[in-house]
Every structure is written in C-alpha cells, then in structure tokens.
Amino acid sequence: MSGALPVSEHSEHIVSPKIYFAVFAALMARTGLTVWAAYVDLGRLNIVVALGIATIKMTLVILFFMHGKYSPRRTKLIIASGFFWLAILLVLTLADYTTRHPEPSRSQLRQTPALSCDREAVRPV
C-alpha cells in the first residue's frame, strides 16, 4: 500500500474496417458529386452546393478518421465550437457573395451573340 493512485489504462475505440471503407466510399462519391457539380450550371447556387458538399465531406473525416465520434465530451465541445466558427465564416462569406454584382454564368455567355461589324453603328465624327 504505497498510497499511489491507480493508473487507468488508456483504451481507444477500435473501428471496424468496414466502417472505414464505407466512409471512404462516401467520400469518393461526394468527390464525384463535386466534380459533377462543377460542370453543371446552377447559377448563383454553385457556391452553395460546393460548400455544402465540402462541409459534409469534412464532417465525415472529423467524425470517423479523426475519431471525433468516439471522443470524450470535452473534445466534442471543441469540435462543435469549430463547426460554429465555420458557420460564422460561411454566413459572412455568403453574405459578401450575395452583395456583389452578379457575373454572367457560363450558359449566359454562350447565348450572347457575337459582335457584328456594322458600319452604321460606328460613325466617324
């Protein structure tokens, strides 16, 4: 009886490889969705869709690959505060984005007729 406190063994949560493969497949599917969304003209929603897909992918990485799902409550609080900070940044970014002058989308640029060299439109002074 030395009076020393008992040392608790540190144990990590063991995650099944099936879960890792499922998360990896979900990340690859969302990467394909990101590429597909880059080629689809959604107008002003392109940025919203891209940020939404990126947020989902980030959540999967944090929860499973960084073991956020199996972490203690204090670590989960830090992760939640990170998401809160991300939400603040996304809201401010999208607020700035919506106040800018809209640029024409790719589909609108293709529909613009070519400039003609009409001599009547350009008269010498």
Q: What is the DSSP string of 89-114?
A: HHHHHHHHHHTSPPPPPHHHHHHSPP
Average pLDDT for 6-15: 65
Rounded to 10 degrees, the C-alpha dihedral 45/62/80/82 comes to: -70
pTM for the whole structure:
0.62
pLDDT at 112 over 90: no
pLDDT score at 7:
52
- Domain range annotation of the chain: 17-99
pLDDT score at 25:
97
pLDDT at 11 over 90: no
Kindly report the average pLDDT of the chain as a whole number.
82
Tens digits of residue pLDDT in 19-62 = 999 999 999 999 999 999 999 988 878 888 998 999 899 999 99
